[in-house]
Amino acid sequence: MRDKKTMQLRSAVSSLFRSALDFALPPRCGGCGTVVDETDSFCADCWQSLDFLGPGGCSRCGLPLQATDAENCAVCLARPPRLDRIRAAVAYGDISRSIAMRLKYGRKVALARTMSRYMHPLLGDLPADTMFVPVPLHRWRLWGRGFNQSVIVARELSRRTGVPVSLDSLRRVKRTPPLKGLNLRQRRRTVAGAFRANPQAELRGRTVVLVDDVLTTGSTADACARVLKRAGASRVDLISWARVVGPSRLDL
Ligand SMILES: [Zn+2]
Ligand SMILES: [Zn+2]
C-alpha cells in the first residue's frame, strides 16, 4: 500500500517535471525527430510505416488467427507455450528497430515513454498483485552498456499503470550468445539455465508480466517463464515494444 502511494507520488512529481520539459521543448516524432503536435507520438509518415499489431490474434501468442482457429492458433493448441499471453505494440521493421536501437545504444530514454504509450493498451486485465519484470541482462553486459533498456520501458509502463517493477525477482546467471541463426533446439539449449528466480522474491501465486524491447524468437522469454513458474508464479505474460512477425514466426 505504501509502495503504491510512493509510486503515485513519484509519478506525479515526474509528470510535473515532464510537463515543464514539454513546455520548453516541442514534441518530436519518435521515429524521425520531426516536430509533431503531441508528445510521445509519431509523424504521419512514420505512423504509416509502423505496423501496429493490436490486441487481437491468438489469445496466447497474439499471432493472427486462421479462419479455422477459434481462440488459439494451431501452434498454441498443439503445444501451449509457457507464456500465458504475448503481446507487442508493433511488428519489427525499420522504424521500430531504429527506436529500439536508439533507446538501447543512444540512451534516448524519452523513447521508452513513446514505446510504453503503445504497449500499455495491450496489457489486458491484470490482477492486483501483478508485477513487471524486465528481462534481465547479464551483469557483464549491464556493466558494459550501463543500463538495461527493458528496465527503462518497464518503469514507464509502471508509471502509466501503477503496477510495480521488480528488479530482483529474476537474474541472468549465464551469458548467452545471440540466438539468431540457431534452430529451436539449439536456442533452447543455449538459454537453458541462463535465468534464475530469486528465492527471496515473493512470486508464489502472482502474475508476472515480463517486459522486453524486442521479441525475436521467444526462446529467452520462454526460459524466463519457466523459472518464474517453477518459483510459483501463477501466470507469466510478456509485453514487448516490437516483435518479429512473418516467415520467421515464433517457436516457443
Ligand atoms: Zn516521423
Ligand atoms: Zn498462438
**Residue 138: predicted pLDDT:** 79
Ligand nearest to the CA of 249: 2
Helices (H) and strands (E) in the chain, counts: 9, 6
Report the separation in Å between the CA atom of 98 and the middle of ligand 1, taken as the mean of its atom positions.
Answer: 11
Domains of the chain: 1-49 (no CATH), 52-243 (3.40.50.2020)
What whole-number distance in Å separates Cα of residue 251 and Cα of residue 28?
36
What is this structure's pTM?
0.86
Determine contact, residues 53/89, Cβ cutoff 8 Å: yes
Q: Which of 2-6, 10-14, 77-81 shows the lowest per-residue confidence on average (mean pLDDT)?
A: 2-6
65-118 pLDDT, tens digit each = 888 888 999 989 998 899 999 999 999 999 999 999 999 988 889 999 999 999
Residue with cell 503536435: 37
Q: Which of 19-28, 94-103, 170-179, 189-198 shows the lowest per-residue confidence on average (mean pLDDT)?
A: 19-28
Burial class (CB in 10 A: 0-12, 13-18, 19+), 164: middle
Report the separation in Å between the CA atom of 205 and the middle of ligand 2, taken as the mean of its atom positions.
Answer: 24
Residue 148's pLDDT band, with cuts at 50, 70 and 90, is very high
Report the separation in Å between the CA atom of 41 and the middle of ligand 1, taken as the mean of its atom positions.
Answer: 9
Radius of gyration of the chain (CA): 18
What whole-number distance in Å separates Cα of residue 54 and Cα of residue 222?
22
Residue with cell 518503469: 155
Residue 140's pLDDT band, with cuts at 50, 70 and 90, is confident
Report the separation in Å between the CA atom of 78 and the middle of ligand 2, taken as the mean of its atom positions.
Answer: 9
**Residue 247: predicted pLDDT:** 55
**Residue of 225, 231, 5, 209 whose CA lies nearest to 87:** 209
Report the separation in Å between the CA atom of 93 and the middle of ligand 1, taken as the mean of its atom positions.
Answer: 14
